[in-house]
Structure 1
């Protein structure tokens, strides 16, 4: 197993193809595309801040963007 440390979004996308950038947040499709993990990512400190974990239906209500 290798240890990867992405330095920007394009490197993150190469590691996790099911991630999108929505505004300043990273949205990961997980659980067979049934769950959305919404997080802030600091590449300089290599930290991930989880904001929400939502079902597909909750995500599409867009309330998390408020």
Structure 2
């Protein structure tokens, strides 16, 4: 899968130093995969869940649900656009924001 930018992962490693290895592991695994469906990706990330307030956005738990990755994933092209890597509390705020501001 082509991870469009590494910058969100680098910034998240600085923000969450206790989850540095887990964040790096998610980046490397995503980059190495060639999956065509959410079911295939779920084999590698059992926590994968659809983010229902945006089309084709997906959520992956990192580090035992301490950090969450929100990404727009275009499975047909194999592209992953990371939108947010945030704490669980920040994720709840983003969910509320996107629920109120549907596109």
Please give the TM-score of this superposition, normalised by the length of structure 2. Answer: 0.55
Deviation, 1:60, is 1.2
- Compare relative contact order (CA 8 Å, sep 6+) and give the higher one, 1 or 2: 2
Q: How does 1:2-17 map to 2 (within 5 A)?
A: 4-17=33-46
Decide which structure has the larger Cα Rg and report it: 2
1:19 pairs, out of 48, 67, 85, with 48
Ranges in structure 2 where 5+ consecutive residues have no aligned partner: 1-31
CA offsets 1:1-58 (integer angstroms, 9 cap, x no match)? xx54111111111221011111221101002210010001111221100011110011
For 1:29, the equivalent position in structure 2 comes to 61
Higher helix share: 2
Provide the aligned C-alpha RMSD in A.
1.6
Higher strand share: 1
Distance 1:8 1:59 in 2: 24
Deviation, 1:64, is 5.2
Count residues in correspondence: 64
Deviation, 1:63, is 4.3
